[in-house]
């Protein structure tokens, strides 16, 4: 793992220069989200974020092929377990919100040892690739369901049975499945699924990230939600969700996926962002 970390630096620097589209997306996102940050500091943040992105790619083989015991040896003791215990003590279902921070792929294996969770995923367009990814993510018994009609029905059943479900809260949704709320002060089309599940089932919510702690080590960290996520007003709830994503990013902004075109779809009348 340390060797992968060493390799990530030169590869990340090369990728930063060659992958112009990703570099420009990163720079645009950082300029919008941190307008008061000096340009040089934003540039360093973007480069370091690219290195983390490369680290995730290099660690894919670890996630997919290493034995379970070896993978679990990479984790430090989890942080914020009290927040997890609080929501579980309610006796209700729990929506676990996991942004694209740190190594979210590796997190699936670590979480599987701590809690019984069902992961909701959005199937890709290439069936063969999608089947391979799901197979690798299920290696140690993780339950994964697609974001389809049948998958959502299963999610509702799990929440109704006081189970825990895992959702990525920071992907831009399909048309008709989101609303515009601020993310770092920028209007962002944000999925309403988590908020609707909370409203429909009266379940609890919790954020979690897999933070890189250095030298190839990782730590799962649980964070509480903004209480307004439980609002009956959908827009208020979704805005609170985005504030929770901001709290996760604040742990270490370099570990967030800034290359993702999070602000691609704009409110009516606004110019293109990228």
Which percentage of the chain shows pLDDT scores above 90? Answer: 64
Q: Where are the alpha helices (DSSP H) in 37-122?
A: 39-58, 60-65, 68-72, 81-89, 104-114
Examine the domain organization and report whether 79 and 38 are in the same domain. no
Which domain range does residue 7 map to? 2-58
Q: List pLDDT tens digits, range 37-94.
A: 999 999 999 999 999 998 888 888 888 888 989 999 999 999 999 999 999 999 999 9
DSSP-derived letter for residue 255 is G
Q: Which residue has the tokens 């590869």?
A: 11
Q: How far is CA 8 from the centre of its chain?
A: 21
Examine the domain organization and report whether 97 and 226 are in the same domain. yes
> What pLDDT is recorded for position 8?
59
Which percentage of the chain shows pLDDT scores above 70? Answer: 95
Residue at 262 is within a domain = no
Q: List pLDDT tens digits, range 208-242.
A: 999 999 888 999 999 999 999 999 999 999 999 99
Beta bridge partners of 206: 96
Residue at 221 is within a domain = yes
Examine the domain organization and report whether 131 and 233 are in the same domain. yes
DSSP-derived letter for residue 101 is B
User: How many other CB atoms are found less than 10 A from the CB of residue 202?
Assistant: 13
Q: List pLDDT tens digits, range 96-124.
A: 999 999 998 888 888 888 888 888 877 77
Examine the domain organization and report whether 191 and 217 are in the same domain. yes
Q: Which residues contact 220 (CB under 8 A, 6 or more apart)?
A: 75, 78, 79, 107, 110, 111, 114, 208, 209, 210, 211
| pLDDT bucket at 95, cuts 50 / 70 / 90 | very high
Residue at 188 is within a domain = yes
Examine the domain organization and report whether 107 and 227 are in the same domain. yes
Token code pair at residue 156: 């509702």
Residue at 23 is within a domain = yes
Average pLDDT, stretch 183-197? 97
Examine the domain organization and report whether 112 and 207 are in the same domain. yes
Residue at 88 is within a domain = yes
CA dist 16 and 12 (Å) reads 6
Residue at 108 is within a domain = yes
Residue at 264 is within a domain = no
- Helix, coil or strand: residue 111: helix
Whole-Å CA distances, 168 to 40, 53, 95, 98 = 31, 17, 10, 5
Q: List pLDDT tens digits, range 5-30.
A: 555 556 767 788 788 899 999 999 99
- Helix, coil or strand: residue 207: strand
| pLDDT bucket at 4, cuts 50 / 70 / 90 | low
Residue at 25 is within a domain = yes
Examine the domain organization and report whether 95 and 41 are in the same domain. no
Torsions phi, psi for 252 (to 5 deg):
-165, 95
Examine the domain organization and report whether 46 and 163 are in the same domain. no
> Is residue 143 scored above 70 in pLDDT?
yes
Sign of CA dihedral 153, 97, 197, 86: positive
Average pLDDT taken over every residue of the chain: 90
């Amino acid at each position: 793992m340390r060797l992968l970390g060493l390799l990530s630096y030169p590869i990340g620097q090369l990728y930063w220069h060659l992958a112009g589209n990703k570099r420009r997306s990163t720079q645009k996102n950082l300029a919008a989200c941190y307008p008061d940050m000096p340009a040089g500091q934003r540039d360093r943040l973007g480069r370091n974020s690219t290195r983390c992105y490369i680290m995730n790619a290099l660690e894919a083989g670890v996630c997919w092929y290493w034995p379970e015991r070896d993978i679990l040896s990479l984790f430090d003791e989890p942080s914020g377990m009290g927040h997890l215990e609080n929501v579980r003590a309610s006796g209700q279902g729990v929506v676990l919100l996991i942004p694209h921070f740190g190594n979210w792929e590796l997190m699936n294996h670590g979480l599987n040892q701590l809690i019984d969770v069902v992961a909701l995923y959005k199937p890709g367009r290439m069936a063969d690739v999608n089947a391979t990814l799901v197979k690798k993510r299920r290696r140690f018994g993780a339950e994964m369901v697609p974001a389809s009609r049948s998958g959502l029905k299963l999610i509702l059943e799990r929440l109704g049975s006081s189970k825990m479900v895992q959702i990525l809260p920071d992907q831009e949704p399909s048309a008709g499945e989101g609303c515009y709320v601020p993310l770092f002060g920028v209007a962002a089309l944000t999925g309403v699924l988590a908020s609707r599940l909370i409203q429909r089932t009266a379940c609890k919510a919790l954020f979690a990230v897999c933070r890189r702690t250095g030298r190839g080590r990782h730590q799962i960290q649980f964070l509480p939600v903004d209480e307004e996520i439980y609002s009956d007003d959908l827009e208020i709830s979704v805005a609170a969700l985005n504030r929770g994503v901001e709290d996760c990013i604040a742990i270490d902004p370099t570990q967030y996926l800034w290359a993702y075109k999070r602000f691609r779809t704009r409110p009516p009348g606004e110019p293109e962002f990228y």
